[in-house]
Every structure is written in C-alpha cells, then in structure tokens.
Amino acid sequence: MKSDINFRHLFYFWVVAKEGGITRAAERLHLAVQTISSQLTLLEQSLGKTLFSQQGRRLVLTEAGRLALGYADQIFLLGEQMQEALNEADSGRIRLTVGISDSLPKLSAYRMLEAAMGIDKKVHLVCYEDQFEALLAELALHKLDVVLTDREVPSGSAMKVFSHRLFDSEMLVVGTKALADTYREGFPDNLNGAPFLLPARNNALRGKIDEWLMAHRVHPDVVGEFEDNALLNTFGRRGLGLFFAPAALANEIAEQFQAIEIGRASGVREQFYAISNDRKIQHPAVEAILATAQKGNRAAA
C-alpha cells in the first residue's frame, strides 16, 4: 500500500460521498462518470480499503468510507479556511481565531478582546465556545490562535501551551433591585436561606464561592447551578436569585442584567487568562490583548 494520498482522488471521493452518487458528483465537477469511477478505484487501491459498497442502485459508505469521510471533511474545511486567510492577507486583514471557555463571563471575553480589535490592522475575529479541555486540545493542534478562560493550564500538563494572566477581579454579590432591597442590609450575615444562582461545581470559581459561604456561615437556598455563565446571568436578570459577578464589570452587569451590588465577597477573586501555543506571542492581535492587560495590572498595583 502506498504511504501517500492523491488528494485529487480524495476530493472526488469526498464529492461523491456528499452528492450521494457518482453521477451527481460528475455533474457537479463537470467530468465524465467513467473518470470519477476510475479515480475512486485508484484511491481505494492506494488506501487498501473499500470505501463504498453497492446496495441496489445506491452507493453506501463502508465503515472505512465513513472514517475517511470524517478526515476528508477536516482536510477540505482547512483548505477553505486557508484560502480565506490568504485572501484576507491580500486585503491587509488578519484573522484571529479565539476559543472562549464556556465558563468565562461573556462581558469579560468582550473586554479582553477589545484591545485586539483596536490594533492598526483590520481584524477578522472568529470565536468558538467550548469546554476548557476541548479548547486546549484545539489550541495544541494550532486550530486556535488563543484561548480565553478563567483558569490557567494545570501544572504538569503534557500539552505545550502556556498561560498568560491578564487580570483578576474581586467578586460582588449582585441581584435585582427587589432582591437588593431585601438582602443589602446586614450583608452577609442575612444571606441564610437567600436564593442563589451559582456556577456549576466544575467551574474554577465555584470552590472559592463555597469557601466564602462557609467562612461566613451562610447556607443559601441554591435554586440553580449553571455551566454557562450567560444563562446564569439571564436567570439572575429575571430575579430568580442572587449571583456573583466581577467588580470590574459592575457597570456592565447593571446595564445589561439590571443587577446591582448587594455586597462585596471579600477574598473571592476571579482570574482571567489567555493561553497560547508559545511563550513568546507572535500574533499582533494577541500581543495587543496581553499588552493592554499588563498596562492595567501596573496601573492597579
């Protein structure tokens, strides 16, 4: 079996699989049916695998064919992305592909990305949201330029990725005006039994919140736990419970979610990180994110 793949043959296979048959693929590619058929045969011989089986008049992917199609999808998607990136380079625009941890407050993500959008070059921003571990895997494969998250890479990680701390913020307990009127006086001693919306237990902030509640002997009525911070804030906006928010975003939280400060959760701080493939950042938009964060940290010191 050959060790290399003819990507033209692979492309013909991919089109046949997508179109559902050789005839339709030939029409799409403006080629003869015999040409497509012979190219598929050569690909199967090269791979040493049968990619299609005949069921009546239909071609059906074999198990090997389904596996090959998954890889072909990725290959040709990357090809399209490469062409887009090259076109953007010709126009003077640069692409910034960002992974945003699903536990990261969206307002924080926006603030972290503001600096990237303000650089001299035009930036085409592409954002993906996923769980922390999944984003690190994508970053390690160079599918992302940077990951924005609320935690650093665990020590001893086998992945060659690096954490850059951007900033941190003390946390507030916030809620709608009606809840604030009820629970502001006597804070935090009067929070026993108060309705709370909390991050899920796999969230980096949750452990710090639990410690703070325990230290103040507060036993809240936990009415909801959320992996998605935006969903938590939406429930908070409806007045279903008190919730924690970064003090650095107090104005934005009040404007978007009609949630006002009830009290400060002293000692509870949320950290924000950019994670990259290299210790030395090369991407100008990511450099801008880090530079702005460093200026802010120096000003706060």
Alpha-carbon distance 278 to 265, whole Å?
35
| Those residues with Cβ within 8 angstroms of residue 78's Cβ, 6 or more apart along the chain or in another chain | none
- Which pLDDT tens digit goes with each residue over 273-297? 989 887 666 788 888 888 876 655 5
- pTM of structure: 0.63
Antiparallel, parallel or unpaired: β 243-246 and 162-175 = antiparallel
Residue-wise pLDDT tens digits, 150-192: 888 887 777 778 888 888 889 999 999 999 999 999 999 999 9
Cα-to-chain-centroid distance, residue 161: 16
Cβ-proximal residues to 271 (8 Å cutoff; 6+ apart), any chain? 150, 151, 152, 165, 167, 168, 204
Q: Please say whether the beta carbons of 146 and 274 come within 8 A.
A: yes
Question: In angstroms, rounded to a whole number, what is the distance separating the alpha carbons of residues 138 and 156?
Answer: 19
Residue 62 has pLDDT above 50, yes or no: yes
